[in-house]
Structures are given as C-alpha cells and as structure tokens.
Amino acid sequence: MPHLSDPVQLGPLVLPNRVLMAPLTRSRADADGVPSKLAATYYSQRASAGLIVSEATQISPMGKGYINTPGIHSPEQVKAWSAIVDAVHQAGGRIFLQLWHVGRISHSSLLPNNAHPVAPSAIRAKSRTMLATGVVEVSEPVALTADGIKETLADYRRAAANAKEAGFDGVEIHAANGYLIDQFLRTGTNHRTDEYGGVAANRVRFLSQVVEQVLNSWEKMRVGVRLAPTVTFNDMSDDNPRETFSVAVEQLNTYGLGYVHVVERAQDSKGDDGESLALSAHLRSLWKGLYIVNGGYDRERGEEALRTGHADAVAYGRAFLANPDLPKRLRLGAALNEPDPATFYGGGAAGYTTYPALA
C-alpha cells in the first residue's frame, strides 16, 4: 500500500513523494504578465513537493482573464520563468507549467484592442473577474470561428514550445474550472452545431486537438491534463457529466499521457461530495496512467485515497500555499500553518514567501 511519502514514477521522472503542489493563482506578475523575481523564491521554497504544477499561465494575450497573472507567450515571460525553473531545480524540485486560456471568463479591458472574450458559444457567464479598479462582471463573449479555433490551437503549440524553452519538466493542460477547454467539454457552455458541438465525442475534439499541439514539443509522459467534472465554478454545468468525462478520459488514454489531475470539489464547496467522488472513482477505473486527485484533502484523506487505490497521488493547494515544507509536515504529522486569505491574490512577499518552514 503506497503512502504519501512514497516515491512514484511519472514517465522518466521519479517523484520523491506523492504530495503534489496544485496550481495556485497568486496574481503577482507585472502588467505584462512577467512573473516577479519573488516567484523564484516562492516556488523553490516548495521544491520538496513530489511535483509542482505552476500557477495557471496564459498561452496568449487573448487567454488572459485576471490582472497580474503570468503568461508564457513573450520572450520576457519565458526568460522570467526560466529563472524560476532554475531555482526549483537547484533546490532539487520538479515543476510543470500549467497552460491556460480563460475563454469567456475575462473582461474586454484585459484583452488586446478591448476585444470580446472568446468561447465555444456566445453565452455570457454569471461570473466575475478582477481588474485594477476592482471586481467586475465578465464581458459578453463571441463564439470562436473555425479560423479562431485554428489560431487558438496554434497559441497552445507556441506556448508549449515556450515552456520547453524555459526548462520546465513538463506541462499540464488546464481543462478545468470553467475555462476555455472546459467550456468546450460541457453542454451548458457549448451549443455549437459544427464538429465541436453536440455529442460528447465532438465536444471533446478541442481538448484532443490541444493535446496534439502540445505533443509537438513534449514527450507524452511529460504532459498531464486537469479536469473538473462536477465543479460548478464560473457558471458551469453539464447534462451528463459521467458520459462527457468518460468520453474525455477514454480519448486522452489514446495519447498515453503522464497523468490526469481531477478536481473533485471546488474550494469552499458545501454539501455532499458523494456524486463527485463516485464519478472520480469511475474515471479512475478508466484511466490508464497516473491518477491525481485534488479538493480539500488533508493528511488522513490523502493516505486513505492512496490506500484504497482511489488515487496515485494527491495535489494540495492552500495547504501548500501556507506550508512550504508540506511533505515533511504530513510525514511527521506536524501542525500546519494557517493560510491568510487576505494575501492570496496580489501584493508582495507577505503571505507569499513569508510562511515559515519547520525549525
């Protein structure tokens, strides 16, 4: 029976433990999407993770949805990420970049020439985003044309190549939490009548094509995909999530990727998790690679997930945010630092690089 402190193989990588760092938006990049120098300290402090998945990182200027989030589409961004990767590697860690396009979860003022956000269908989300002036409702999106889809796929290809240039150990495709790929997957946001809409096999097509673009730069075992089958964040819904995500996972199996990373519940979600956990268990039975779970796990639930075969590894979010040495704390059963929500997004070192490790 594996434990959180046991190593696990991810393709050519040996992860020294099964305590992974989930992607965490921290909104500390500059206005041009260049990560701050503090980010090298922040990530290297957490290098004891079995694997770090970086904060969500936009693949293009049109992929941006929030202020001060980083990108991977300009030379300046690539150079800054390269320094971060070097710091993590020097500290003995491994780090994947999460490739992100927000789709409809954006505001025109964040986009080139005040453009409308793009989405599979022109359906405005009942959701909000953050500008320099405060929180606002997201803008009305426009449906991607056939040419727009081709351009977006090319953006994924370039971003994946840029991540390789920056020295990352791999990439995670963000197909969760109501952003662009998730919008294509789910019936509540995809009303298309072309080859990208309708039956589940069509709605999965965009994800498949993104994977194919990424595989132009990356060995298949260095690529993961994040899914969130039942998470309603960003005004998401699906008529039949079991069918939709079963088709998605079966299709992803054909590429032989390194892992899928399933968000089983949104942060601060309330109520019964039974349906979400049952669906995750079903997807686990279908998936042929490493299976990673995320969503409110503590030490005990993480160990149980491994012991029962529910997962191969567990991704921790807020616990890693506040505890740079989380694998050690979990191994020892030590007390955890409490995260400070006031410093989650934006700001400087406070609540970013200032959480103490164990003496």
- The structure tokens listed for 356 are 């103490």
Q: Which residue has the tokens 């921790």?
A: 316
CB hemisphere CA count around 128 (13 angstroms)? 7
Question: Which backbone phi and psi does 80 adopt, to 5 degrees?
Answer: -65, -40
**Strand 259-263 vs strand 223-227: parallel, antiparallel, or unpaired?**
parallel
What confidence tens digit (pLDDT) does each residue in 103-137 have? 999 999 999 999 999 999 999 999 999 998 999 99
**224 - beta bridge partners?**
172, 259
Note down pLDDT in tens along the chain; length 359 residues.
Answer: 999 999 999 999 999 999 999 999 999 999 999 999 999 999 999 999 999 999 999 999 999 999 999 999 999 999 999 999 999 999 999 999 999 999 999 999 999 999 999 999 999 999 999 998 999 999 999 999 999 999 999 999 999 999 999 999 999 999 999 999 999 999 999 999 999 999 999 999 999 999 999 999 999 999 999 999 999 999 999 999 999 999 999 999 999 999 999 999 865 555 557 889 999 999 999 999 999 999 999 999 999 999 999 999 999 999 999 999 999 999 999 999 999 999 999 999 999 999 999 98
User: What proportions of the chain, in percent to the nearest 5, are helix, strand and coil?
Assistant: 35, 15, 50
Digit-coded pLDDT (tens) for 49-104: 999 999 999 999 999 999 999 999 999 999 999 999 999 999 999 999 999 999 99
Q: How many angstroms separate the CA atoms of 11 and 227, rounded?
A: 20
Confidence (pTM): 0.97
**Phi, psi angles (nearest 5°) of residue 226:** -100, 130
d(CA 37, CA 26): 14
CATH class of the 8-343 domain in this structure: alpha beta
pLDDT at 274: 83
Taking alpha carbons only, the member of 234, 118, 100, 225 closest to residue 178 is 234
Residue listed under structure tokens 């997962």:
311
Residue 82 tokens, joined: 């390269």
Please confirm, yes or no, whether 179 is among the known catalytic residues. Answer: yes
In the set 43, 179, 352, 355, the catalytic residue is 179
What does the alpha-carbon distance between residue 356 and residue 171 come to, in Å, rounded to a whole number? 29
Cα–Cα distances in angstroms (integers) from residue 93 to residues 82, 84, 90, 226, 257, in the given order: 14, 11, 7, 21, 21
Compute the chain's Rg from CA coordinates: 19
Beta carbons within 8 Å of 242's beta carbon, 6+ residues apart: 229, 279, 282
The burial class, CB within 10 Å (0-12 / 13-18 / 19+), for 142 is middle
Give the pLDDT score at 265. Answer: 82
